[in-house]
Structure 1
Amino acid sequence: MKRSKKDVFAGILLFGAAFLLSACAVTGQKRETGKAPAQEAGTEAAGKETGPKIGVSIYRYDDTFMKLYRSELKQYLEETYHAQVVLRNADGNQETQNQQVDRLIADGCKGLLVNPVEVSAAGRLADAANKAGIPLIFINREPKQTEQLRWKKEHMAVSSVGTDSRQAGSYQGEIILETPKKGDLNGDGVVSCGMLKGEEGNEASEYRSEYAIKALKKGGMKAEELYSGSGDWSRESGKKLAREAFSRYGNKIEVMFCSNDAMANGALEAAKEAGLVPGKDIYLVGVDALQDTVESIKSGEIAGTVLNDHGGQARLAADTLIKMINGEEAETRYLVDDIKITTVSTFKTRKGDD
């Protein structure tokens, strides 16, 4: 069940940006320098244990976006449903996550929310929850369509909540089309692009890259991909890949499409180190609308980003899981629309309205 399309122009942009900035002011945006233990204890909800016990496994705690997501998820479940929330950090290890899910089931959790390390493991996790009679929702990383069809065919209480990565990629391309030269900074009629992707083979990352190029072509521009590299979604990997791209192609790269904002922020640092002037010599665009990136949009150094609504996704996932726990049926897939974030005036106009 997909939400109806919303107007992504001024009004929605203002709301999305204001929501993001208020959330970020509370949680902060700096990457965690250390890694939390794989079996983090002491994260259960405090207070009266009147609501259901909910188990949550996150693929990695040092991912900035998922830090925001899990914070919103925990707070919403506790405040709205008085749930006991048990958070676990898989630390990028699928076997660790498998063990966590088994333990959460054994410990009496009534529902599970899993941000999978590897989407290929979704079947194993779904089977474990189904065998125990516990509803499960995959968050942020969407399992394959064939797996989702299996849930429906076998009447499993399993669902997925996320966004359409093809939409995010299309919005990235549209952001570049909205720039004065539509990305063609040297005027040769071709937009020369670099692609900074997440983990190799990650479907979301692949779709974002693919549909960014498709959007350029749909907008009447020719495009060529000069460079493509895969990292781990971090600022450090984005900077490393961008350095490599600039060392090979220099200012021939006119647009750098980054699969998330952390990598875009790293690419921004690399561009400056290479003597390029972001916003003039190269356009950078990301996904997530992290506060560091928003600030760079304000200054004109990053062309834009796409709001990957962690708050909306977290609340929808929580609401859906509670309904499933209460015996209600759910769709196998829910999507939350993305929102383009590009203009300085968007943030300045909304600032005093919170």
Structure 2
Amino acid sequence: MNTRIFLALSTALVAAPALADEVNVYSHRQPELVQPLFDAFTAETGINVNVAFVEKGMVERLVAEGSRSPADLVMTVDIARLQQVVEAGVIQPVEDPALEAAVPASFRDPANQWFGLTSRARIVYASRDRVADGEVTTYEDLADPKWKGRICTRSFTSDYNVALTAAYLAHHGTEATTAWLEGVKANLAKKPEGNDRSQVKSIWAGECDISLGNTYYMGQMVADPEQKAWADSVRIVFPTFEGQGTHMNISGVAMTKAAPNRDNALKLMEFLASDEAQAIYAETNHEFPVKDGVKRSALVESWGDFTADPINLVDVSNLRPEALKLIEAVNFDG
């Protein structure tokens, strides 16, 4: 049977009886991004995957449903959202040798409450015409006055920029991070707005020379006829923290505390960490596989190699509240 869209009741919080041939997923990721994975899993195991796209309020929904939740797994993006389900107490640890062998320790929760599935880098998009090779190499460099009037970014209170700031805070401390935020703000070409792709559009339009963005947006722009010209106007630069590596974030999966179909849920988790699924995920979403030895897509490979920041993502997530306070204290978006 083909994968069906699972429409969990938003008012009646009584889960349907568990069936032996299904698994239910709440996902922050759009259905078209995860559908190929679920189709492959069903073809291999005969287990149907019912997925509800929950754009907002996933944690609140799981808390409200409690032990009656029909959800077996949650799939989400960004370390912050993974930590939110941990802190809400709505998921359970999964002790599974196959998962632990497939997912490196740096990409899973120390207590095995969530497991990373793909990673992405927070990089610089640089104008091919106006930024020379080697002109930007570090995140620290973004505060250099040479970039005055040349930087575009989305809001710095967005999840991705808060995570980057938290990583900067972990490496450099409060005083240096505040100075960095003030320096980057002073270099902005315009007030923060839009999303990562619209910053690349601004580079294409000549409004700025560099911007911050996630790597996978390049893949999305290349595939969109209306945005390909934006993508062609820039190149990807992998900046590093001085002496460290490029800031990373992840998408991941966790098993709910309720998990009415626990055995099937574990099978799906193991499948998502397999070579087959990692390759599908990387190709579909233009992201980096977390499992060692799985090849990147040809497009992602063309962006070049880089060294990932070795800092533990849980440590970064724990600093997010302080990072957000610093961003607001300098009125970055003002």
Relative to its length, the structure with more helix (as a share) is 1
* Structure showing greater relative contact order (alpha-carbon pairs closer than 8 Å, 6 or more residues apart): 2
TM-score range, shorter chain: 0.3 to 0.5
TM-score by length of 2: 0.42
TM-score by length of 1: 0.40
